[in-house]
Amino acid sequence: MSETISILGAGKLGTVLARLAVASGHRVLIAGSGDPERIRLIMQVMAPGAEPVAALQAAREGDIVILALPLGKYRTLPREALAGKLVIDAMNYWWEVDGPRPDLTDSDLPTSTVVQEFLAHSVVVKAFNHMGYHDLDEGPRRPGAPGRKGMAVAGDDGNGTDRVITLVDQIGLDPVPAGTLHDSIRLQPHAEAFGANAPASELQSMLNRFHTTLLGREILDGCIGDVSPAVA
């Protein structure tokens, strides 16, 4: 079923996701940080078929809204317009971009839980964050094709997570259920699965052995918080 996929963020990741979503048959709206006319020409070249719009329009009209902007800007999101929406958090914390942010570096709180707290009336699901944009651009394959890569999906809402799993499959990746939003710490920078450009089985193995890694052991020892020792 074709849906309207809105992307907030017109950088490299947002542009790649726009191109992939158009190719999978969806209507795509994309918003940068300013006047949509500023990105119209580059979208015609880099993501033909994606329609540049203002962020507020993208938030209002999207059936699914993907966050592909710097994580440090999450408090600028149009929270009211996103109320009731399914929101995919594809953001990561980068010190070089976001600067020192105690609210995003509390190791007891995966960043997607911080975003979910801010977007209290939206359903937030983590996906599209652990694979580099260049790998994401080259990775999509039809189901069953050799070389098809896995994409982890983590969320607290079953229906929302299922819809994102469907979108991941439509885009050309094998969805890998990765637990709850709290479990999404397995997908953040410093976790083994971060940067994974691997088949679903290999990605699943990385998630399952998270508790054996240094970060995983710290969590299971109670230094950070509770995360399931394995993802089914």
Name the strands in the sheet holding 64-67, side by side, starting at the edge strand that comes first in the sequence: 51-52, 27-31, 4-8, 64-67, 86-89, 123-126, 150-155, 174-177
For 33-78, strand residue ranges (E) read: 51-52, 64-67
Mean pLDDT for the stretch of residues 70-92: 97
Amino acid symbol at 138: E
Looking at residue 116, its pLDDT comes to 98
Mean pLDDT, range 190-206, rounded to an integer: 95
Q: Dump pLDDT digits (tens) for 155-173.
A: 999 999 999 999 999 999 9
Put simply, whether the predicted model's pTM sits higher than 0.85 gets the answer yes
Q: Does residue 231 carry a pLDDT above 50? A: no
Q: State mean pLDDT over 110-132.
A: 97
- Residue 178 tokens read as 């990765």
Q: ∠ CA 178-225-188 to the nearest 5 degrees?
A: 45
Of 34-43, 46-55, 99-108, 202-211, the one with minimum mean pLDDT is 99-108
Proportion of the chain above pLDDT 90, given as a percent: 79
User: Residue 175: phi, psi to the nearest 5?
Assistant: -70, 140
Work out the average pLDDT over 52-75: 97
pLDDT tens string 214-224: 877 777 666 55
Confidence of residue 70 (pLDDT cuts 50, 70, 90): very high
